[in-house]
């Protein structure tokens, strides 16, 4: 890291600390111990503010209204948290996704503030593992000066997801409303091209961390199983994107999924495994830090958040 990068990073850190005064309770959202040496925390990248119809538009209106009322959800707004999972085992410091960075949405892109306020330097991150390449998950690899935020990290990408966003035809086929996603993803992927390690479904990408195909939200979306002895947790990214509809009616199609039919099948498979094996779950957009467990009730499921 050269002197110019250091001084720019120092400036960003100082500004971040000033911005985070009085907000420490929101920095680390939740934490769990896995085995004797590994810790998983979720740190906040802020939240998104989206039109509810973007998610719910294709769902049956009356049933949806009843479900949201039952869960005391305000249907006039949609503001999901953005929870970045941080895994530390004494040797590796791993981030699962990197948030939105400064160029996506003013309510998100807070990851630099959170990691440095808890005493973690971006240079300390040894690995970044991506679930997928939507803006709120990958655009944060660049800081305000377009420098790599985690310069010493190996960046792990599912081969299918990389190939999709790297393909020059994607920007023309993804749809006008998402064309900027494709342009933004490829620009950032070009910056990490020399620091990428590819993986496939079922592969152990790091000790105790294995990739699990969870296609649908994007063509190559990945979840990750982390196991230590009899304990396990599933990092689901956006495969389970909210704590109510996605769990009670995983078969309903969400407008945020690029392949809604495949995404619905993925949700059902993940929920069945997580509940059956009594795994913990970490969801990027699930509430109160995103860590919890899943209970099956008849043909539906329920997200039970961990106390924070």
Output the pTM of the full model: 0.90
Instruction: Inform me whether the pLDDT recorded for 5 exceeds 70.
Output: no
- Indicate which CATH number applies to the domain containing 133: 3.60.15.10
User: What are the tokens at 1?
Assistant: 């890291």
Quick one: pLDDT band at residue 215, thresholds 50, 70, 90?
very high
CA atoms within 13 A on the CB side of 68: 17
The torsion angle over the Cα atoms of residues 186, 246, 240 and 180, rounded to 10 degrees, is: 10
Can you tell me the mean pLDDT for 158-177? 97
Over residues 282-300, the pLDDT tens digits come to 999 999 999 999 999 888 9
Over residues 253-290, the pLDDT tens digits come to 999 999 999 999 999 999 999 999 999 999 999 999 99
Instruction: Inform me whether the pLDDT recorded for 158 exceeds 60.
Output: yes
Over residues 116-142, the pLDDT tens digits come to 888 899 999 999 999 999 999 999 999
The residues that bridge with 232 in the sheet, in sequence order, are 227
Instruction: Inform me whether the pLDDT recorded for 238 exceeds 50.
Output: yes
Q: State the Cα–Cα distance between residues 119 and 223, nearest whole angstrom.
A: 27
Q: What confidence score (pLDDT) does residue 246 get?
A: 98
273-280, long-range: CB < 8 A, 24+ apart: 273/234, 274/234, 275/301, 277/232, 279/225, 279/232, 279/233, 279/234, 280/32, 280/231, 280/232, 280/233, 280/234, 280/306
3 state SS of 53: helix
Instruction: Inform me whether the pLDDT recorded for 3 exceeds 60.
Output: no
Mean pLDDT of the chain: 90
The residues that bridge with 46 in the sheet, in sequence order, are 108
Residue % of the chain over a pLDDT of 90:
81
Q: What confidence score (pLDDT) does residue 29 get?
A: 64
Q: What confidence score (pLDDT) does residue 11 get?
A: 39
Burial per residue of 265-281, b for 16 or more beta-carbon CB atoms within 10 angstroms, e otherwise: ebbeebbeebbeeebbb
What range defines the domain where residue 236 resides?
3-305
Q: Which of 28-32, 34-38, 116-120, 235-239 has the lowest mean pLDDT?
A: 28-32
Over residues 190-211, the pLDDT tens digits come to 999 999 999 999 999 999 999 9
Number of structural domains the chain divides into: 1
Q: State the Cα–Cα distance between residues 202 and 54, nearest whole angstrom.
A: 32
Quick one: pLDDT band at residue 37, thresholds 50, 70, 90?
confident
Instruction: Inform me whether the pLDDT recorded for 22 exceeds 80.
Output: no
Instruction: Inform me whether the pLDDT recorded for 89 exceeds 80.
Output: yes
User: What are the tokens at 252?
Assistant: 């309903």
| Phi-psi domain of 216 (left: phi exceeds 0; alpha: psi -120 through 50; beta: other) | left
Q: What confidence score (pLDDT) does residue 8 get?
A: 47
Q: What confidence score (pLDDT) does residue 27 get?
A: 56
């Amino acid at each position: 890291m050269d002197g110019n990068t250091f001084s720019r990073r120092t400036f960003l850190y100082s500004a971040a600390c000033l911005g985070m005064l009085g907000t420490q309770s929101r920095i680390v959202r939740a934490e769990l111990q896995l085995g004797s040496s590994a810790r998983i925390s979720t740190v906040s990248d802020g939240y998104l503010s989206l039109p509810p119809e973007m998610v719910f538009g294709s769902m049956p209106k009356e049933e949806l209204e009843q479900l949201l009322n039952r869960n005391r959800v305000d249907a006039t707004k949609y503001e999901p948290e953005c929870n970045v999972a941080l895994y530390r085992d004494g040797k590796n410091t791993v981030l699962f996704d990197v948030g939105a960075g400064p160029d996506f949405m003013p309510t998100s892109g807070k990851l630099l503030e959170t990691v440095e306020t808890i005493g973690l330097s971006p240079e300390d991150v040894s690995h970044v593992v991506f679930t997928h390449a939507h803006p709120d998950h990958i655009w944060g690899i660049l800081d305000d000066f377009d420098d790599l935020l985690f310069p010493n990290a190996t960046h792990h990408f599912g081969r299918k997801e990389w190939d999709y966003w790297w393909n020059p035809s994607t920007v023309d086929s993804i749809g006008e409303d998402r064309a900027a996603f494709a342009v933004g993803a490829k620009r950032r992927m070009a910056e990490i091209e020399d620091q990428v390690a590819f993986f496939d479904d079922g592969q152990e990408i790091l000790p105790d961390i294995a990739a699990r195909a969870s296609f649908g939200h994007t063509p190559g979306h990945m979840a990750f199983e982390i196991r230590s002895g009899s304990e396990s947790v599933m990092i689901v990214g956006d495969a389970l994107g909210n704590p109510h509809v996605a769990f009670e009616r995983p078969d309903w199609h969400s407008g945020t999924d690029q392949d809604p039919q495949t995404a619905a099948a993925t949700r059902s498979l993940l929920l069945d495994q997580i509940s059956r094996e009594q795994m913990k779950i970490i969801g990027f957009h699930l509430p109160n830090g995103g860590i919890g467990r899943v209970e099956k009730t008849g043909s539906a499921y329920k997200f039970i958040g961990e106390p924070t």
